[in-house]
């Protein structure tokens, strides 16, 4: 699965984004291993369909909507989660290969793998005949 989409800087934003909503900042772990940076983000209630990951101009944005089915007429008694949208952005350094980013989501945990560009790629140099 791969929800990464590229977007032109001046592309029109979807209509839903016009409405400013409160957003939650998902907790993340970030580490580097095996020539890739890994981001693990807690986004409970977000499904594969409600998760949007984009790279735009060197900025990685991670957004997701809490998509839990709830009955009509549910009124809050007590709430610690007070928004239904998560959003977080990270700037990418140039050695990240943004074309090769992959993501998966399982039980509300998003795992992103951001491979580094292969700068040590072995290249064969053709020797021209004299």
Binding region for another protein (CB under 8 A): 20-22, 27-33, 37, 40, 42-47, 66-68, 70-84, 106-109
How far, in Å, CA of 26 to CA of 109, rounded?
A: 10
Closer residue to another protein in complex, CB, 37/62: 37
Residue 93 φ then ψ, to 5°: -85, 165
CB of residue 6 vs another protein: minimum separation in angstroms?
A: 25
User: In this complex, which beta carbon is closest to another protein, that of residue 82 or of residue 121?
Assistant: 82
Q: Which is nearer to another protein, 5 or 83 (CB)?
A: 83
Task: Scan for tokens 């007590």, then name that residue.
Answer: 78
Q: Round to the nearest angstrom and report the end-to-end CA distance of the chain.
A: 50
Distance of closest approach, residue 3 Cβ to another protein, in angstroms:
15
Question: Do the strands 59-65 and 102-106 form a parallel or antiparallel pair, or are they unpaired?
Answer: unpaired
* DSSP 8-state secondary structure symbol assigned to residue 31: E
Residues 113, 45 contacting (CB under 8 angstroms)? no
| Closest distance of CB 69 from another protein, Å | 9
In 3-state terms, what secondary structure has residue 15? helix
**Beta carbon nearer to another protein, 1 or 9:** 1
Q: Shortest approach of another protein to residue 123 CB, angstroms? A: 28
């Amino acid at each position: 699965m791969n929800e990464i989409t590229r977007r032109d800087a001046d592309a029109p934003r979807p209509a839903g984004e016009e409405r400013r909503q409160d957003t939650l900042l998902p907790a993340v772990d970030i580490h580097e291993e095996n020539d890739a940076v890994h981001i693990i983000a807690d986004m409970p209630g977000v499904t594969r369909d409600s998760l949007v990951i984009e790279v735009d101009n060197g900025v990685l944005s991670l957004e997701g909507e809490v998509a839990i089915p709830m009955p009509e007429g549910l009124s809050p008694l007590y709430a610690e989660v007070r928004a239904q949208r998560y959003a977080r952005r990270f700037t990418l350094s140039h050695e990240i290969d943004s074309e090769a980013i992959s993501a998966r989501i399982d039980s509300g945990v998003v795992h992103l793998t951001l491979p580094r560009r292969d700068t040590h790629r072995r290249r064969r140099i053709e020797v021209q005949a004299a």
